[in-house]
Structure 1
Amino acid sequence: MRLRKRLRFVPIVLFLSFCVCKAQTNRNPKFSDPKAPVGDPELTVPGSVKPILDVWMRDAYVTHGPDGYYYLTGTTATPGRKFPGQVHCWDYNDGLYLWRSADLENWEAMGRIWSFDEDAADWQKKGKPMKPGTQSVNGDPLDSMYRAVWAPELHYIESQQKWLLIACLNGNQGSFVLESTSGKPEGPYRNIPGNAQKAIFRNIDLSVFEDTDGKVYLIGHNHYIARMKDDLSDIAESFRPFDETPYPKEPYIEGVWLDKHHGKYQLLQTVWSVPLADGTYTYLPGEKPAAVHSYDVVVAEADHIYGPYGPRYPAILQGGHNNLFQDGDGNWWSTTFFNPRGVMGTKFPVTCRPAVVPVKWDNNRLKPDVEASDDFYSTLNK
């Protein structure tokens, strides 16, 4: 009798197990959905957003320091350098610059905080000598050097009460980590021992993440992570790839940022949308070079820092290579810089200027906060 009662429940248990497995499969597909929702006003950088500073800049980065100030840096062209063509930073600049603000509206220039000529190690100074008059990628004649520093990030490591400055070099010369010797965000800065002789990471767009337990990680370009030593002098392990849910065919991805929200790790990456013949858009690379459309932020979430990260979802259209930060009231913001490349870039009245975008977590998914953006920019510099 007891055996019969047990057997009655077997089909039910098997059915429930099947449903659970099917639900888990649906929640964790093999690939992320590559559809790009171009034109969705709820996900697009609001039209009210405008530059917060009239300085040529890409890869704009803002952090809220422990002193209450907001600090801004980014990839800049050398101030005052004359270009017969388009101003840019691809081939040459002279270092890293910093601005600060008490309110995100009014910005004070703090000058150059790291210089190739004065602060760089020998391996960082080298660059690639070029014949005077050689044409750059934008058609401008170069001086004599192919040497630029890109994508700086300024991080206050709370557990160590230390400022780190992260950046990378053009010409495939890698990324590096600097530490402030004064304990101040303006430096001066020196290389940490881990990259005193060579790049600590062999690609571009390095980032840093401090976890809630005080452990610090370097986030490498598009897909890599390595924990740092407790004293931040070097990496404690080799870089390894995140466990991700990729697209069916991975495109070029850059501008990686790692953060935490509702107790889960948020992996932000930047992907170009590409138009399809039917009028829709995708994040998949085309079989042949296609005109890119917009520079979009996608997000994936994980319970553990190394992953697995779930499916990516589009979060901030036209707002790529960004970072997130919180203001003094706990509100979330993202940076943007009006990328001139792509179809959308031709519609911006001004490009390569830093801006900030209020964002929010809607059901724990990141998106622009259109109402907060309209409110902030309605009073900016009035």
Structure 2
Amino acid sequence: MADSENGLHVNRRSLLTGAAGFLGAAALPMAAAQAAQAAPAEAAAKRRYPPNWPEPEPYGLADTRLDLWPREDNSFILPLELRPRDEALGRVWMRDTYVNCFVVNGRPVYVATGTTRVPGLEAAAPWNDGIFVWVSPSLRGPWRLADTTGIRPGAEKGKVWSPEFVGENRPGRTVVAPWQEYWTDDRFGKRGEAWAPEVHYFRGKWYIVACMGDHSQKVGSFMLVSEGGVEGPYRLVEGNLDKPFGESFIGGPAFIKPGAYHHIDGSLYAEGDDAWLVLHNHLYAKFRDDMEDIVPTTDLPTFQQVPYAPEPYLEGAYVFKHGGKYYLLHAAWNRSSTDPDGTTRYAYATPGAGRVQYQYDAVVAVADSFEGPYSRRWTAGVGAGHNNFFADRSGQVWATFFRNPNFGYWSDPSRIGDAAVAGVVRVEWTGPEGNRLYVQRRNHGHTVND
């Protein structure tokens, strides 16, 4: 912090010039004493914040210390209301967990969502049945499925959008676009899934930003707007009637149809009356004032970042503002390899011989403005990739995590039973000088039970 906020200003020039020289000289011992008293106060103010950790060198190495893992003392699994499909497992199977807290009519409303799977499938592909939402008055619960029974009596509670709802389309109101409908082929059979949904409350309306995944007719990000409450009913915004946001490009697995791949993992960042779409590949776009589409542009702008060398594939881009700073999150695979001296190297590296996927980490950078330039990235959470940061009703910052079940540490048969969870972990801020957010490290704050 600036001296004007924390300490005493002593103007030595006024003390030592002119006829006041003698008085100034006499005042010097007093000023020194006052400064000595102020120094412990400044030091105490700095001690209120945990320290930054030195960055591993060279840039791109991962910090794998257990302090940066979600643990029993800093995290917990949300007690989400179970659906019939969840009863055998005893909890909700979820990837890309998203949680947030909004104030609606003066009261906090917590929302949770994520990528889920249908009964009978081990993954959320090659198809799933859409987006479920849970709500709660507090982070600890009770977490209830959004009450959709008034919209679709007899249908599964909590399901706010699905390709199944194509029959609800009406002239001038599209719920499911043609490119979002299920389809079939000889290789996968039934195809089409919704990924990585986020729920947002902006200007008194509920929005969901999500992505049609790799097995869909078109792959990319889209947005829904509610015509009621958080439970819906939702419809598709005008900008996604024909395609996902942005333009198509070559990308994704080889089985994706040519021209079908667009930018995935869409997120929404809002500040004041303005909102932006945040996409993977370092892209963003401003929404139109009516929120029905993004502002048209020849090329989507990119965040000013400090890339790794070489830059690996990054997912789950998300922007969060805290302490007057902007934090840009990405999910990056931390790959382990063996150095010539026999030690293990952990780095955010591109795929290659001898490089094994270890943890799906959350890496973060900080900036003074939304666009950047952003600082060098640091490891904010081990195994906490494809997450979001949010503040609870008291202002405490949390992050989500889900433990990737497909590859790496949590895919091991001995751990797979604890993967794909709706987890939240407390986050600590290193203050206005450090300006970093980390998963709460041991001995640097309160326990999760506080």
Which band: TM-score by shorter chain? 0.7 to 0.9
> Rg larger in 1 or in 2?
2
What TM-score, normalized by structure 2, do the two folds share? 0.68
Task: State, as a whole percentage, how many aligned pairs show the same letter.
Answer: 33
One-letter amino acid of the counterpart of residue 156, structure 1:
Y
User: Distance in 2 between the 1:374 and 1:222 partners?
Assistant: 36
Question: Pick from 383, 388, 403: which aligns with 1:338?
Answer: 403
Secondary structure (helix, strand or coil) at the match of 2:405 reads: coil
User: Distance in 1 between the 2:210 and 2:409 partners?
Assistant: 27
Question: Pick from 294, 301, 309: which aligns with 1:235?
Answer: 294
Structure-to-structure mapping, 1:95-114, within 5 angstroms: 95-105=130-140, 106-110=142-146, 111-114=158-161
By how many angstroms is 1:126 displaced?
A: 3.4
Structure-to-structure mapping, 1:163-178, within 5 angstroms: 163-171=206-214, 173-178=219-224
CA contact under 8 A between 1:259 and 1:265: conserved in structure 2? yes
One-letter amino acid of the counterpart of residue 205, structure 2:
K
Report how many residues are paired.
328
Report what 1:69 is aligned to: 109
Deviations 1:205-253 (CA, angstroms, capped at 9, x unpaired): 0000002x42100001241000111121211143222111100100110
One-letter amino acid of the counterpart of residue 268, structure 2:
V
CA contact under 8 A between 2:360 and 2:408: conserved in structure 1? no
User: Distance in 1 between the 2:388 and 2:352 partners?
Assistant: 31
User: Distance in 2 between the 1:88 and 1:341 partners?
Assistant: 9
Report what 1:366 is aligned to: 437
Question: Pick from 92, 110, 135: which aligns with 1:55?
Answer: 92
Secondary structure (helix, strand or coil) at the match of 2:386 reads: coil
Secondary structure (helix, strand or coil) at the match of 1:296 reads: strand
CA contact under 8 A between 2:133 and 2:159: conserved in structure 1? yes
Mark the CA change 1:373 to 1:178 in structure 2 (over 3 Å): closer, same or farther: farther
Deviations 1:88-144 (CA, angstroms, capped at 9, x unpaired): 10211111101111222231122100121215433243344124xx5x5xxxxxxx4
User: Distance in 2 between the 1:302 and 1:181 partners?
Assistant: 35
Structure-to-structure mapping, 1:188-227, within 5 angstroms: 188-201=233-246, 202-211=262-271, 213-227=272-286
CA contact under 8 A between 1:32 and 1:247: conserved in structure 2? no
By how many angstroms is 1:359 displaced?
A: 0.6
One-letter amino acid of the counterpart of residue 61, structure 1:
Y
Q: Does 1:187 align with 2:212?
A: no
Q: Does 1:146 align with 2:214?
A: no
Report what 1:43 is aligned to: 68
CA contact under 8 A between 1:123 and 1:198: conserved in structure 2? no
Moved more, 118-127 or 194-203: 118-127
One-letter amino acid of the counterpart of residue 279, structure 2:
G
User: Distance in 1 between the 2:207 and 2:354 partners?
Assistant: 38
Q: Which runs of 4+ in 1 moved over 6 A?
A: 371-374
Mark the CA change 1:289 to 1:123 in structure 2 (over 3 Å): closer, same or farther: farther
Gaps of 5+ in 1: 1-30, 137-143
Report what 1:33 is aligned to: 59
Secondary structure (helix, strand or coil) at the match of 1:188 reads: strand
What TM-score, normalized by structure 1, do the two folds share? 0.80
Moved more, 198-207 or 351-360: 198-207
User: Distance in 2 between the 1:74 and 1:331 partners?
Assistant: 22
Structure-to-structure mapping, 1:84-95, within 5 angstroms: 87-95=122-130
Gaps of 5+ in 2: 1-56, 81-90, 147-157, 167-174, 247-261
Secondary structure (helix, strand or coil) at the match of 2:66 reads: coil
By how many angstroms is 1:41 displaced?
A: 2.5
User: Distance in 2 between the 1:360 and 1:228 partners?
Assistant: 31
User: Distance in 2 between the 1:320 and 1:373 partners?
Assistant: 22
User: Distance in 2 between the 1:192 and 1:373 partners?
Assistant: 43
Secondary structure (helix, strand or coil) at the match of 2:164 reads: helix
Report what 1:26 is aligned to: none
By how many angstroms is 1:322 displaced?
A: 0.5
CA contact under 8 A between 1:228 and 1:237: conserved in structure 2? no
Secondary structure (helix, strand or coil) at the match of 2:239 reads: helix
CA RMSD of aligned residues (A): 2.2
By how many angstroms is 1:373 displaced?
A: 9.4
By how many angstroms is 1:161 displaced?
A: 1.6
Question: Pick from 425, 428, 446: which aligns with 1:357?
Answer: 425
Secondary structure (helix, strand or coil) at the match of 1:240 reads: coil
